[in-house]
Structure formats: structure tokens, C-alpha cells
Amino acid sequence: DTEVTQTPKHLVMGMTNKKSLKCEQHMGHRAMYWYKQKAKKPPELMFVYSYEKLSINESVPSRFSPECPNSSLLNLHLHALQPEDSALYLCASSHPVLIDTQYFGPGTRLTVL
Amino acid sequence: QKEVEQNSGPLSVPEGAIASLNCTYSDRGSQSFFWYRQYSGKSPELIMFIYSNGDKEDGRFTAQLNKASQYVSLLIRDSQPSDSATYLCAVGPSGGGADGLTFGKGTHLIIQP
């Protein structure tokens, strides 16, 4: 089983709103990731959590705030976003042995008005 | 700066033929290589990974790796219309680990019935 779940599937928010994206996996994976994907572009890495600690932040603006409450759950808190932040936000987790091997969730389609 | 290069296509292949997708990478220290399939509006789905030089087969898919030439390919035999998608080549971090993947821009494959 390689299931990563993400909620919500779609999110529309204004520039002054605060919202959160949620990602969950119950496969015992110890590394989890957030990627951002714009239309017709490849996924771009945003954050990496390894053993519940933030290990990589790819110079992401502070209006995106990640959180890893436990080994199964990853959140991305959003505040004061811009229309150019509209994208597909993908969560992934890594196989515990083949740790490079990442499995993606279905994504959250975010639209910022 | 690691780079992963793919021909963006579209690559058009008749149904039943072999589709050949190619990828080159810049970081000679890369150790892990992945092919993801992405349907329009959906998240990337892992279809093959390869770590060692040579061929790796899984059903209709064969991944080929040549580290000396820094070249990875994916062959799809007996192509079906359902194989029409964007194929993303991804490279893992040098030395392995949970550092995120570097993606190529993807090749848009069209299987003509």
C-alpha cells in the first residue's frame, strides 16, 4: 500500500485568508515533502521533513508555513497568499528503505483570488 | 545546480508500437532515477525506479540507465491509448537520502489509436 492522502482536493481563498492543507500517510514513512506544481511545469520542492524535523526549506516565502505534528501527518499553513501562488500542491512521502523513492498524494488544487 | 533534461514533445506513437522516452542529467553523483506518469490535472504516479546500470523491466515498461553517459530512458511496449500522459524523469540527490527529487520538464506522450 502506497497511499498518501491530501485534503482538501480543491481550495479557493482570498489574499487575506488563512487556510491549511493536510497530508497523511500510514505507511511508516519517515520523510515527507511538499512540492508546488504550476500548469505545464514539473513539481518544485518546497519543504522536506525527515523524522518529523524540517530538514530542507527551499527558500520558500514565509506566507507558507509547514508543520509536522507527528510521523503520519504533514500540514502546510497558508496566510496572505498572492494570486501567483495558485497551483497544485503535492505532498509526498518516502519509502523507509529506498528513501529516495517518493510516492505522491493526489494534490490540492489551490486558487488564490 | 542540478539539471534534468527531457524533450517536451509531444511524442506521437501508434497504438501497439514501442514508445521511447529519454532523459539526461547533469549531476554525476546521482544514484537514483525515477519515471513518473502524470495525467492532466492529476498527481505524478511512480511507474519505475532504477539504481543500477542496465535494464529493469516491469510488465510493459523497461527503464534503462547508463551512468557513464548520464542517460536514463523508459521504453513502453505495446503502447495503449491509456499510456497517453506526461512522463516525468526525476533524479534523486547525490549520496541518496531524503533531499527531494529534481524533475525534468516532462515529455508529453500521445498514443494514436
Determine, for residues B46 and A107 on separate chains, whether the beta-carbon distance falls below 8 Å.
Answer: no
Q: Which residue, B15, B105, B75, B96, is CA-closest to A102? A: B96
Average pLDDT by stretches of 10, chain A with 113 residues: 89 94 92 95 94 88 95 96 97 81 95 96
B93 vs A contacts (CB less than 8 Å):
100
Q: Shortest Cα distance from A104 to chain B (angstroms)?
A: 6
Measure CB to CB from residue B43 to each of A2, A31, A104 and give the nearest one.
A104
The pLDDT tens digits for A48-75 are 998 899 988 888 999 999 999 998 999 9
pLDDT at B93: 82
Q: Mean pLDDT across chain B, nearest whole number?
A: 94
Distance separating alpha carbons of residues A53 and A103, to the nearest angstrom? 19
Q: Mean pLDDT across chain A, nearest whole number?
A: 92
Distance separating alpha carbons of residues B10 and A106, to the nearest angstrom? 24
Rg (CA), chain A: 13
Judge whether B30 is closer than 8 Å to chain A, CB to CB: no
Confidence grade of residue B54 (pLDDT, cut at 50, 70, 90): very high
Judge whether B27 is closer than 8 Å to chain A, CB to CB: no
